[in-house]
């Protein structure tokens, strides 16, 4: 019997989502689970629709265990999951179609086979990157060989982008990540990751034509081609590439003719099964000054953000650099630098170089005192990072209640108040997840933390005395 009522399959899937949401990072949930739709429930088989074949492959590779457990929890031991996959067609005349795929537990079946598209390459294409001694069809990829996956530190801040980039590097043009848009603030590693993809492609597939070009360089080459009446050579060169890595595409803003040329180059590459990799300081939806038709193409593949690295990732970056340079620093120095320089990776590495230079010139051993005195120009806020433990002790001292009572199950009014304020401050003054905050306060779940924060916010708005309590404690936090 097939249950065709949407509410039935939707309610089952929603119950699954509640469990999944509590077990994976929020960004991963937003990227991989929010786009999924529940289609039907046929006995014990739940069918969900995913937007691409790569979604299916990714879920089967990374979340198959979690999916299996949640589905069986809702439908019993006989519960199974099947996917309905939307397969896009590059040609406008061919509408998208769907195909069904079972959950097989290893992601090995149903992988897309790339279909080679014949491309005629003009032997007389002129290379806009004029490199003495190279033949016309030999292309210097313009890549920095130091940018590799091996020295790219992975963390929660960049895991999606790094994983997608590695998948693209193994199979350029053969995944649903086309184009792959990597976006984020200055100094977070976008260029490193984009060039690492290019270097990996050249290592595995040396015959592939790969080119890295900044948006500004591309625009200048286009202007030169207009002056020299070589626009066809310019277009033919880029259309002959197998992989194009375009850095800082936000610089296309306001350059309508250059956007038009890149639009046509992009279409040719995409329809020919070639790979396009883009970097930007903003997500496609936030880019201003770009034509809508170009933005729509940027959204065809995957947009993966690069966020500010957390403390553990920053420490790992420093240790990796130390290892590469053959140096060794005390753990407390590494931790101090990582604690206090949290804007971007570029500043972090710059601070380390400055510290090493100062130590060498002054012939001093690097210790915590030297690090503090030498890095004042880099460090904007030298206050120690606020921890949950510190917040908890401060709140308990303020209300004169024992610390161990805040972690207990007691419902005494003064204890509950101290606990809720501690949770509220931990959420607002640390980077700790709700789940971890709850665990710190006696093994409570994230919903308890959410309720506590909402209660505190409501009391701040309605109770002046309570508001003064919170403000006093926050002042003490800032004073360190």
Residue 131 maps to a domain? no
Looking up residue 67, the CATH number of its domain turns out to be: 3.30.300.180
pLDDT at 362: 65
Q: Which of 306, 327, 350 is the last residue of a domain?
A: 306
Domain membership of residue 137 (yes or no) is no
> Residue 325's pLDDT is what?
66
Interacting residues of 160 by C-beta distance below 8 A, sequence separation 6+: 27, 28, 31, 304, 305
Of 473, 393, 396, 388, which is closest to residue 437 (Cα–Cα)?
388
In a domain, 128, yes or no: no
Neighbour order of strands in the sheet with 80-87: 2-3, 37-42, 45-50, 80-87, 97-102
- Parallel, antiparallel, or unpaired: how do β-strands 80-87 and 45-50 relate? parallel
How many C-beta neighbours within 10 Å does residue 345 have?
A: 24
Query: Do 378 and 351 touch, CB atoms closer than 8 A?
Result: yes
- Looking at residue 308, the DSSP 8-state letter turns out to be P
Output the pLDDT for position 422. Answer: 93
| DSSP letter, residue 249 | G
| Cα separation, 29 vs 147, whole angstroms | 29
In this structure, are residues 123 and 79 in contact, taking their beta carbons and an 8 Å threshold? Answer: no
Q: Are residues 394 and 368 in the same domain?
A: no
Local confidence pLDDT in tens for the 480 residues of the chain:
444 444 588 889 999 998 888 888 877 788 788 889 888 888 888 899 887 776 777 788 778 888 988 988 888 888 888 888 765 443 444 444 455 555 554 333 333 333 233 333 344 445 665 444 434 456 788 898 889 888 888 888 888 888 989 999 999 988 888 899 999 887 788 899 999 999 999 999 988 999 999 999 999 888 888 888 888 888 888 988 999 999 999 988 888 888 988 998 998 898 888 999 999 988 888 888 888 888 888 888 888 888 877 777 788 878 777 776 666 777 777 777 777 776 667 777 777 777 777 666 666 667 777 777 766 666 554 345 578 888 988 899 888 888 888 888 888 888 999 999 999 999 888 878 888 888 888 888 888 999 999 999 989 888 888 988 898 888 777 655
- For residues 77 and 42, membership in a common domain is answered with yes
pLDDT of residue 195: 93
- Using an 8 Å Cβ cutoff, are 66 and 30 in contact? no
Sorted by sequence, the CB contacts under 8 Å of residue 459 that are 6+ apart come out as 466, 467
From the CB of residue 211, how many other CB atoms can be counted at a distance below 10 Å?
Answer: 23
**Token code pair at residue 203:** 């290592």
**Residue-range definition of the domain harbouring residue 51:** 2-102
CA–CA distance, 235 with 225 (Å, rounded to integer): 9
Question: Which of 196, 174, 198, 36 minimizes the C-alpha distance to 112?
Answer: 174
- In three-state secondary structure terms, 187 is coil
H or E, element range at 13: helix 6-21
Q: Are residues 72 and 196 in the same domain?
A: no
User: Which long-range contacts (C-beta less than 8 Å, at least 24 apart) are formed by 216-220?
Assistant: 216/248, 216/251, 218/246, 218/258, 218/262, 219/251, 219/252, 219/255, 219/258
Whole-angstrom distance, CA of residue 64 vs CA of residue 69: 9
Tell me, yes or no, whether 381 lies in a domain. no
In a domain, 124, yes or no: no
Domain endpoint, select from 325, 349, 374: 374
DSSP state of 303: E
Domain harbouring 348, CATH code: 1.10.8.60
Is 455 among the domain residues? yes
């Amino acid at each position: 019997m097939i249950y065709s009522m949407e509410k039935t399959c939707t309610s089952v899937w929603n119950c699954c989502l509640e469990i999944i949401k509590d077990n994976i990072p929020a960004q991963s949930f937003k990227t991989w689970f929010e786009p999924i739709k529940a289609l039907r429930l046929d006995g014990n088989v739940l069918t969900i629709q995913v937007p691409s074949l790569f979604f299916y492959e990714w879920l089967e590779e990374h979340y198959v265990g979690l999916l299996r457990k949640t589905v069986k929890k809702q439908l019993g031991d006989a519960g199974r999951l099947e996917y309905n996959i939307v397969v896009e067609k590059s040609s406008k005349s061919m509408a998208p179609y769907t195909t069904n795929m079972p959950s097989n537990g290893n992601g090995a079946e149903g992988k897309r086979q790339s279909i080679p598209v014949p491309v005629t390459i003009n032997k007389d294409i002129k290379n806009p990157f004029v490199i003495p001694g190279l033949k016309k069809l030999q292309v210097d990829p313009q890549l920095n060989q130091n940018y590799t996956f091996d020295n790219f530190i992975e963390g929660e801040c960049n895991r999606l982008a790094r994983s997608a980039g590695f998948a693209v590097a193994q199979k350029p043009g053969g995944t649903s990540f086309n184009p792959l848009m990597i976006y984020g603030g200055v100094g977070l590693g976008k260029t490193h990751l984009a060039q690492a993809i290019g270097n990996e492609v050249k290592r595995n597939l040396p015959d592939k034509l790969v080119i890295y070009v900044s948006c500004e360089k591309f625009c200048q080459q286009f202007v030169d081609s207009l002056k020299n009446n070589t626009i066809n050579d310019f277009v033919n060169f880029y259309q002959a590439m197998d992989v194009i890595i375009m850095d800082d595409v936000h610089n296309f803003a306001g350059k309508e003719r250059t956007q038009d040329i890149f639009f046509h180059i992009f279409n040719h590459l995409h329809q020919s099964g070639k790979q396009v990799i883009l970097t930007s300081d903003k997500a496609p939806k936030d880019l201003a000054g770009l034509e809508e038709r170009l933005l729509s193409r940027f959204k065809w593949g995957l947009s993966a953000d690069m966020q500010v690295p957390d403390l553990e990732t920053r420490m790992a970056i420093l240790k990796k650099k130390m290892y590469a340079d053959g140096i060794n620093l005390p753990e407390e120095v590494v931790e101090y630098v990582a604690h206090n320089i949290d804007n971007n990776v570029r500043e972090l590495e710059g601070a380390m170089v400055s510290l090493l230079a100062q130590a060498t010139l002054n012939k001093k051993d690097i210790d915590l005192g030297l690090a503090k005195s030498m890095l004042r120009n880099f460090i904007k806020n030298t206050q120690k990072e606020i921890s949950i433990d510190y917040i908890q002790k401060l709140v308990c001292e303020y209300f004169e209640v024992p610390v161990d009572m805040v972690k207990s199950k007691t419902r005494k009014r003064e204890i509950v108040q101290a606990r809720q304020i501690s949770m509220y401050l931990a959420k607002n003054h640390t980077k700790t997840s709700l789940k971890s905050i709850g665990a710190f306060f006696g093994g409570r779940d994230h919903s308890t933390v959410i309720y506590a924060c909402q209660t505190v916010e409501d009391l701040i708005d309605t109770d002046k005395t309570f508001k003064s309590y919170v403000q006093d404690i926050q002042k003490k936090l800032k004073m360190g």
